[in-house]
Structures are given as structure tokens and as C-alpha cells.
Amino acid sequence: MLGRSLREVSAALKQGQITPTELCQKCLSLIKKTKFLNAYITVSEEVALKQAEESEKRYKNGQSLGDLDGIPIAVKDNFSTSGIETTCASNMLKGYIPPYNATVVQKLLDQGALLMGKTNLDEFAMGSGSTDGVFGPVKNPWSYSKQYREKRKQNPHSENEDSDWLITGGSSGGSAAAVSAFTCYAALGSDTGGSTRNPAAHCGLVGFKPSYGLVSRHGLIPLVNSMDVPGILTRCVDDAAIVLGALAGPDPRDSTTVHEPINKPFMLPSLADVSKLCIGIPKEYLVPELSSEVQSLWSKAADLFESEGAKVIEVSLPHTSYSIVCYHVLCTSEVASNMARFDGLQYGHRCDIDVSTEAMYAATRREGFNDVVRGRILSGNFFLLKENYENYFVKAQKVRRLIANDFVNAFNSGVDVLLTPTTLSEAVPYLEFIKEDNRTRSAQDDIFTQAVNMAVSIPVALSNQGLPIGLQFIGRAFCDQQLLTVAKWFEKQVQFPVIQLQELMDDCSAVLENEKLASVSLKQ
Amino acid sequence: MAAPMLRWGCRGRRWAFARVDGGSCHRRGAPTGSTSNQIRGESSVAQQPLHTAQKTRKGEHKWAAVVGLEIHAQISSNSKLFSGSQVRFSAPPNSLVSFFDASLPGTLPVLNRRCVEAAVMTGLALNCHINKKSLFDRKHYFYADLPAGYQITQQRLPIAVNGSLIYGVCAGKKQSQVIPKTVRIKQIQLEQDSGKSLHDNLRSQTLIDLNRAGVGLLEVVLEPDMSCGEEAATAVRELQLILQALGTSQANMAEGQLRVDANISVHHPGEPLGVRTEVKNLNSIRFLAKAIDYEIQRQINELENGGEILNETRSFHHKLGCTMSMRDKEGKQDYRFMPEPNLPPLVLYDATSLPAGADPQQVINIDQIRETLPELPSVTREKLVQQYGMLLEHSFTLLNEVGLLEFFQNVIKETRAEPKKVTSWVLNTFLGYLKQQNLAVSESPVTPSALAELLDLLDSRTISSSAAKQVMDVKNRNPRAINKLIGLVRKATQSRADPVMIKEILEKKLSL
């Protein structure tokens, strides 16, 4: 049962094959078993069981709230949850219990979803590995998969197994690990420059960043307000569409949500053929750092579309190379501003120093934030100084407009969807990852995802090492349904293999019942 | 101190135009009588910088003062600028604080329509150009009563710009001349108020009250077109009347609904402007005038003694009557302005740009607001002049004294007496008594009907003018008037009646 998709388990609940409480308990037990992954910061066991009980009553009374009723979900620990600690993986917010729910959390609960817990991340979502949070790094479940282990046995150079675990990518690595290890059926991440799509690619999941303005940010503790979007992590595209259907829509508490009525629910048609589609391949995304495996899968995917009748053309996004530096200026500036409220006065960490208010601020912030956060605050404040504002912030805003126009121009030239890699390569071992600092890593890892408004990463195939590789589909803003429809067609063609975690879950035989064999369609 | 020297230029004028604080030092020596004799040949003062007449010992240069104002008016609205919390003065501390006001992480601002309408209304009344598109910015500084670490304001593109405020300064050889003066309005911007810090020095604690945090403010920036405390005070008083007439702010300075910062510099005419200082937190119109005049003289003295003026923030100490450097520890602040990313541009419409079929609840129509503008004080005054043939300066006094216009209109309604007589009685006799006893119009023991009846008796020549004045005295519980009556009774009874009893009976008869 645990290995099923959200849609499948939802059907099972409706048919009474399993009760919400049974499902909840299975997930809780798996959460305990996979505790070493460090996917969760807080497991909200009592809350989840109580919600399950209520859901069960509704099912008994034939008053199910819909597809999400009784479905275990997890939420990244930068979304406010009423009565449940919300830390952003930072000392600064350890012990902080918000008095309100983020709109997206409330919407999921209103649909009957069960909140299993709050998932791990890089501190304040600043990172691309889920390695830089105060609660320690998240381990990629694929490190323990049969597929990866078998490949490693073949490799004579493989080192000590236990120290060789892989990162999940980030910053929503906890959410990705939680879904990937079957501890829940969907999870909320947040995506600013790739924080949902990147770990989705590394963990073999669907990672979706909806259009900015489609989903409320109210209650999401911000990284970059002008780019943050609540992200969705699921095992398949249809599941992402179900969750999007529950979340999308205007929110009077978030003035940046759009008011146009939207088609609900986001039911995805099954495309019979793709002959009317035009797929764009941005030539600037073919960078030297791209691993040959990813490059090869990317071109096979393009071939697949072409062989099925789609028009595949090369497009140019000429300002791509500026996106990382542009993002750096805008991101750090907003970070500097957003972090100003953490002063120890009203909530969160407060130091013991009380000589003066200023001394208290300084010590509180030094103790509360890690180096990455402090570094970004420092650079952001530099860019916002009166003497630097025009040369950095305003210039970066102009460059952002040019980059955004690149996409608009591509779509206006007749392209429906852009096809790109999500990451340069598959997940790397933790020990490898930490050889570079957070900033270098973020710049490399988010190279394809940073400048993008609405996009989805789809798992495509396993690498030679037995690890997932994802490709990204980028759509026109507010054409989320069209994008997911194309992604769903693609997903069906590639038949990405299910992660095999028998060793982890030897008593959860249910997983095996739904196991699919690796497809050969895109295998190298 | 040099400040008193400045008084000559302003004496008497404030009486008519700027006095709002209850007891005024200018009442001394001229409590009653006609307002007109308060004004002595001051056209040169009103027209030119105040300090031209102040030749120094060196006597070589004249000084001109330049004064600009930043005025913060709390918007009169039920809820705050970006949150649903109530706005109420003197509520228990921290009882009007939403999650957003307390800057809980993840909360977002939602713009209050009423505040936008108030800003548009005020902009229109002050002849501003209303920007169809305006933007919000964050202004950063760390302070305990600013929980987010930044204030949301409109630095780059405010809601209203390029307006003007016309106010009247009294002058002329004839006592009756009111000279209109214009101060340009640079801009009006919407912004958040901060909370309040209460410092407990004994326990070295600071207590924070966030009730005020996030209340909507209109920041009105007046260009440096003024040249003395009196002009600034009169301009602020006019603005206060306009805001109150519009209902966009209660503009009560004592309750902090209107706060003024003044930028002041001095220079020699024809030369570049001098270094300016900012005098902060002026919480009454009287102190505003005093502080500005003090600061002008301080700068002149400083420069004439070879000193220099520092670009600094100063505060006015009303007990000492002087300004003092606030000595900001951090020195010059860099506010690191940044666009507020959580608020889309504020777009306003007019009749021509209004999209067809737009939901009136979702859009703000400037033309519609223009149609609902109430009568402004300048128009009210014109009407008074035309309708009752009073002097313009009298109309100023009627509007400046809280409640006096209404009192006047009620008397007019009920009496047969000529308007000119009513004007004279209300402004001279009645107001004179109030001033003498330091009473507000609302505290007056004389009702409009009583005065109307008295004027009727006067009009029908039933009583003489001096008798009428005596009646006023009695009605106002003037002890001298009562004593005079007691004296008359004692005389008539040949001193046989008990004075205490006479007083009791008289008071009863007079229903005092």
C-alpha cells in the first residue's frame, strides 16, 4: 500500500481496502524506521492520528472530503503550522510555535490530509543540498536502494558503505526524502531557484514549481518573496495535479496571488499524441559541466518527442549566463531585509546579553543564524546600500527582466514547452558535496532552475550508478495544466523505476506489490 | 537666549491664526478688545524672511531662514494600513496587534482600501497630482518598536505629488489684511506607523506597545517655502483644518495623530542654502513655532560666532524652550530602501481609465472621490465673508477655534441681531471671556441660545451695550460682576441684608 501513488491509495481508502488510521500508522512506523534519513525535524504523530480518526469517521459516514481525505502528507519546516514547532532548521526559530497555519497547510488540512510532520531543509532554505541545517544533513533514500547498492558492489573502488551516503539535493531535501522513502504520499517544498525540483531530481520524484501567483505564500517563511513559490513533491504527475488542485487559487492574505478564476480540479487529460506540440531545447543549457549521462538522456528525450511527431526546435535564451549572478544579488538583498525581523525580541532565539538593545540584537543574530545566512545578510545589505543600490540591485532587476523576456520570447515564437536538464548530474555523496561551500554549490546546482518561473522536474531513468536523473519541463506562466499534461505523457513513456527499499522495509511487503520493472525505453 | 527677540515679528498674529493649545503666552496684555488691534504693520515680515531686520553687531549681512516640514498624520480608519487590527487611541497595551503587526514570520501585508481613499482625498484637497500607479518600499532600521526591522513606505513613487497648501498670514497697515501664502507640497505618501517604546530607566528596561504599529500614516512633505516659526505653525494649522474637514485624520496633536518634523537652515539671500538641521517630534503648534524660531536664531548665532551647523537631528525641550542635539549613536543612517515585494503596484483609476465592467469594490476611482470631497476651510471662510460681511481674518478665527464656527452659526440662527454684531460679540466679547478663563468653546457656560437672546435684547434696545456686557460677565460667573450686584442689593437694603444670603439668592435667580 505504501508504494502506491496518492491517487491509488485514495481509491483504496474510498473502497475501504484500508482505513486512514491504518495508513497513518503504517507511515508513522516507516518514519521511525527511516529516522536515520533525517527527513523529518518534527513528527506530528498525535496530530496525524487524530486527523486520521476524524477522516475515518468521515469515510464511515460517506462524507469524504475528496482525493486528499486521509492521505498522509509532510510539510517543509518553513511553512507555519499552528501549534506545531516551525524552525526553518535554524537555531533562530528553535522552539517557535506559530499561532496560525500557512494558507497551503490549511487548505490541505481542509481537504482531510494527515500532517505527518515537518521536514528538514537547509537553514531558511538557503542551500542546494539539505546539508546546512541546524538539525544535520538529510540522507538520500536512494543511498540504501537495491538499485544503487548493486551497482556499487560492481565498483571495486567503492568505499565504506556507511560514509558513502548521498545528499538529497535541496533545499527541500527532507520533503523529497519523506516522499521517496514512502513515509507520505506528497510533501510541500518551497521553490525559489530550484529548491523543490533539485531534490526531486535527485530522489526520483516529480517536483513541481507552480506559476508564481497561483498558490498562496501566506505563512511560508520567505527566502525571496518575489520568487518563492510553494512546491509540490509527489511520486507521479497525476498526484502533483491533485495537490495543485487543492492549493491553487487566490488568497486574500497574499496580495500577489492572481484573482483570475482557475480550472479546478486540475484534471490531466491523457495525451493521445504529441504531434501538435512544439518542444524547445534551449541551446545555452548545454554547458560544459553537464554530465554526459544527463546530456545523453536529455537528447534521447528530445528524440522521443520528435519520433512521436512533436516539433522539436532549438531556441535561444541569450541571458542565461547572467541568471546566477542576478539571482545572487536579488536573493541576498531580499534575505537581508526578510531576516531583519529576527532580533530576539518577540519570538525565537534570544541571547543572554543585556548590556544594550544593540548588543542583544548582534549576539542574538550571531548565535541564531549559521554562516550561510549571515553571509547572505551581509552581501544583501551591501547591495542595498545607497551607494550600491543602482549598480547592483537595480541592475540585477533589469537583468531579471531580460532573462524573463528570454522565456517570453521563446514561448511567443511558438514553443509550448521547454525541455532541459534539472541538474548537472545525479546526486553526489555527502563527503564529496561538502568539499565546496554552500555558495559554489548553489550556483552550480541551480544553474537550470534558478531563473525559471513555472516548471516541473520528472524522473527519467537511473544513471550508471543506479541513481535517478530528472529532466525539467518549463511552461508558460499560468499554463500549469498544459505543462503537467505534457509531463504526464512523458512520464508514461519513460516508466521510471520504483525505488527498491526492501532492506529498509523488509516487513513492509506491501511495497513490493506495486513494484514496477525498470523500463528500457530510455535506458542507456 | 536669543529666541525672545523673535517674538516681535509674531506677536499677536498667532492669536488669530495659530493658537490651538489653550492658554497662550500671547494673550498677555491683550485679552479682550478687537482682534484687529493685534496686528501692527507686519507686511514686511510676512513677505520677506523674518530675520532681515536682525542686523548683527557686525551689521554686514542679513540672514534668511528656510523651513520645510515633514508632517505625519494618522489616518482615521477602523483598521491598520496592512492588517485587520483595530485602530484605537489609549487601548490597553498590545491589545490591538495582529500576527502581521507583530511581524510573525510568513505574514504578508494586505492594503487597506480606506487608507488609500484617505490619501487620494487628501491629495485632491491639497491640489496634488494623484499618481495612477504608486509603489511601496521597505525602509530598514533596527528599533525595538519596529518589529519587522523595516517600515513599509512609498519612497520611489508616492501616491500623490506636486500639490500646494495655501494659508493666510495676517499683515498690512490696516489691521484686516490677510496675506495668502503658498507652500508647495512635494508629496504625500502612505506608510506604517511604528509601535511605542516605554523606557523604564530605573529597571533599565524598555517596554514595547505595538498597538500603534502598522497604523496608516499620511506623510505630507512640505517644501522649504517657509521662513519662520509663525509661517510653519500657520501652515500646519491650515493642514490640520483640512484633514479634519476631510475626515481623513483627526489630526489631534496631543494624541499624536499629527506629528511634525521641521528642516531648518539659514543663509544669506542670494547665496546657496545653509546646512540644515532636523527638529523632531514637535507635538503642538505652539512648540512648533517656538522650536523653529529658536533653532533659526541658534544657527545665526552659531554662524556669526564662527561656528558651523551640523547636519543633525535635534529635539525641542519645551520646558527649557530650546533645541538639543539628539546625538544619534549610529550617526547617519542608510535605510537600504528596497521595493516591497509582497505588494503589487497600487493602481488607481479615473473616469477615462476605468476598465469597463470593473467591480467597484476592487477598484478606486479618483474622480468619484473628487465628487465626494466636503467643503474645505478656505471655501467655508469665503462663504462667511460673503454671507455675513465679516473680515477674512475673522473667518480665520472662527475656524481656528475648535467649535467656534458651530457656536457662531447657532447664535446667528436664533437671533435677530445683525451678523456683524454677532461676529463682533462672538469674536471679541465671548471669545475674550473664554480666553481669560482658559476655557474651550465646548466648556463655555454661555450657550448659543443665551447669547442669541442677549443680542436680541440689545437689538431691541431693551438693554444697553454695557448692560449686555455685564450680563455676559454674570453668565460667565465673573466674581466681580456678582460682587457688583451684591453691592447694589446691599445699597438698596441699606446694608441690612446678609451678603452670603444675597449671593445665594442671586445665584439661584440667575440660575448659575
What's the pLDDT tens digit per position in A399-431? 999 999 999 999 999 999 999 999 999 999 999
Mode of pairing for the β-strands spanning B277-282 and B313-317: parallel
- What is the pLDDT tens value at each position of chain B, 512 positions in all? 333 332 233 333 332 233 223 333 332 333 333 333 333 333 333 333 444 444 444 555 699 999 999 999 999 999 999 999 999 988 999 999 999 999 999 999 999 999 999 999 999 999 999 999 999 999 999 999 999 999 999 999 999 999 999 998 877 665 467 889 999 999 999 999 999 999 888 888 889 999 999 999 999 999 999 999 999 999 999 999 999 999 999 999 999 999 999 999 999 999 999 999 999 978 899 999 999 999 999 999 999 999 999 999 999 998 899 999 987 655 678 999 999 999 999 999 999 999 888 888 889 999 999 999 999 999 999 999 999 999 888 999 899 888 999 999 999 999 999 999 999 999 988 998 888 888 899 888 889 998 998 898 888 888 877 777 777 777 766 777 778 888 888 888 888 888 888 888 877 777 65
| Cα(A470)–Cα(A294) distance, integer angstroms | 8
Q: What percentage of chain A carries pLDDT values higher than 90? A: 85
Q: Tell me which residue of A221, A219, A208, A195 sits closest to A89, measured CA to CA.
A: A221
Q: Looking at chain B, which residue has its C-alpha nearest residue A104?
A: B106
**How high is the pLDDT of residue B388?**
94
Contact B103 A226 (CB under 8 A): no
Q: Are B233 and B18 in contact (CB under 8 A)?
A: yes
ipTM summary value: 0.94
Q: Return the residue matching grid coordinates 547498492.
A: A149
Q: Are A423 and A198 in contact (CB under 8 A)?
A: yes
| Cα(A487)–Cα(A327) distance, integer angstroms | 27
**How is B336-371 classified by DSSP, letter by letter?**
--EE-TTS--EE-B-TTTPPTT--TTT--BHHHHHH
Q: Are A138 and A39 in contact (CB under 8 A)?
A: yes
Q: Rounded to the nearest 10 degrees, what angle do helices B377-388 and B229-246 cross at?
A: 90
| Cα(A483)–Cα(B426) distance, integer angstroms | 78
Helix (H, G, I), strand (E, B) or coil at A167: strand
Q: Are A500 and A515 in contact (CB under 8 A)?
A: yes
Where b means 16+ CB within 10 Å and e means fewer, B172-202 reads beebebbeebebebbbbbbbbbbbbeeeeee
Q: What is the pLDDT of residues A346-398, one digit of tens each?
A: 999 999 998 888 999 999 999 999 999 999 999 999 999 999 999 999 999 99
Whether A117 has a pLDDT exceeding 50, the answer reads yes
| Cα(B326)–Cα(A460) distance, integer angstroms | 65
What torsion do the CA atoms of A316, A317, A319, A325 make, to the nearest 10 degrees? -130
Residues of B in contact with A381 (CB under 8 A): 336
Instruction: List C-alpha distances in Å: A202 to A194, A312, A433, B401.
Output: 12, 26, 13, 75
- Residue B67, φ and ψ in degrees, nearest 5: -125, 125
**How is B267-292 classified by DSSP, letter by letter?**
E-TTS-----EEEEEE-SHHHHHHHH
**How high is the pLDDT of residue A261?**
66
Report angle CA A389, A393, A398 to the nearest 5 degrees. 125
Q: Are B75 and B217 in contact (CB under 8 A)?
A: yes
Write out the three cell numbers for B221.
512633505
Q: Tell me which residue of A490, A496, A492, A488 sits closest to A237, measured CA to CA.
A: A488
Whether A263 has a pLDDT exceeding 80, the answer reads no
Q: Give, as one character, the DSSP assignment of residue A518.
A: P
Q: Tell me which residue of B180, B174, B168 sits closest to B37, measured CA to CA.
A: B174
| Cα(A113)–Cα(A242) distance, integer angstroms | 12
Report angle CA A329, A331, A332 to the nearest 5 degrees. 70
Q: Give, as one character, the DSSP assignment of residue A44.
A: -
* Region of residue A309 (phi > 0: left; psi between -120 and 50: alpha; otherwise: beta): left
Active site residue A457: no
Active site residue A76: yes
Residues of A in contact with B334 (CB under 8 A): 385-386
**How is A347-408 classified by DSSP, letter by letter?**
SS---S--S-HHHHHHHHHHHHS-HHHHHHHHHHHHHHSHHHHIIIIIHHHHHHHHHHHHHH
Q: How far is B338 from chain A (nearest CA, A)?
A: 7
**How high is the pLDDT of residue A522?**
45
* Region of residue B336 (phi > 0: left; psi between -120 and 50: alpha; otherwise: beta): left
Chain A residues whose C-beta is within 8 A of a chain B C-beta are 79-80, 86, 88, 93, 96, 98-100, 102, 217-222, 224-226, 252-256, 333-334, 336-337, 339-343, 345-347, 357-358, 361, 381, 384-386, 389, 393
What lies within 8 Å, CB to CB, of B392 at 6+ separation is B168, B176, B178, B381, B385
What lies within 8 Å, CB to CB, of A394 at 6+ separation is none
Q: Are A481 and A442 in contact (CB under 8 A)?
A: no
Mean pLDDT calculated for residue range A206-234 = 97
Contact B336 A384 (CB under 8 A): yes
Q: Tell me which residue of A49, A111, A169 sits closest to A428, measured CA to CA.
A: A169
Instruction: List C-alpha distances in Å: A269 to A67, A234, A472.
Output: 17, 18, 20
Q: Give, as one character, the DSSP assignment of residue A307.
A: H
Contacts for A407-414: CB closer than 8 Å, 24+ residues apart: A407/A317, A407/A451, A407/A452, A407/A453, A407/A474, A407/A476, A410/A280, A410/A282, A410/A315, A410/A316, A410/A317, A411/A476, A413/A280, A413/A315, A414/A278
Q: Looking at chain A, which residue has its C-alpha nearest residue B362?
A: A259
When pLDDT is cut at 50, 70 and 90, the band that residue A506 belongs to is low
Report angle CA A108, A110, A114 to the nearest 5 degrees. 55
Q: How far is B208 from chain A (nearest CA, A)?
A: 10
**How high is the pLDDT of residue B177?**
76
Q: Are A342 and A368 in contact (CB under 8 A)?
A: yes
**How high is the pLDDT of residue A342?**
97
Closest to B99 (Cβ–Cβ): which among A99, A342, A386?
A: A99
Write out the three cell numbers for A514.
506495486
| Cα(A418)–Cα(A296) distance, integer angstroms | 17
Q: Tell me which residue of B147, B109, B110, B99 sits closest to A98, measured CA to CA.
A: B99
Q: Are A121 and A171 in contact (CB under 8 A)?
A: yes
**How high is the pLDDT of residue B176?**
61
Residue in A80, A90, A175, A195 annotated catalytic: A195
Report angle CA A465, A468, A469 to the nearest 5 degrees. 105
Q: Number of H helices and number of E strands within chain B?
A: 16, 16
Contact B150 A337 (CB under 8 A): yes
Q: How far is A325 from chain B (nearest CA, A)?
A: 18
**How high is the pLDDT of residue A502?**
78
**H helices present in B127-247, as ranges:** 229-246
Q: How far is B334 from chain A (nearest CA, A)?
A: 7
- Residue B267, φ and ψ in degrees, nearest 5: -160, 170
Mode of pairing for the β-strands spanning A311-315 and A278-282: parallel
Instruction: List C-alpha distances in Å: B141 to B74, B149, B158.
Output: 21, 6, 20
Q: Output the furthest CA–CA distance in chain A (Å, rounded).
A: 72
Q: Give, as one character, the DSSP assignment of residue B86.
A: B
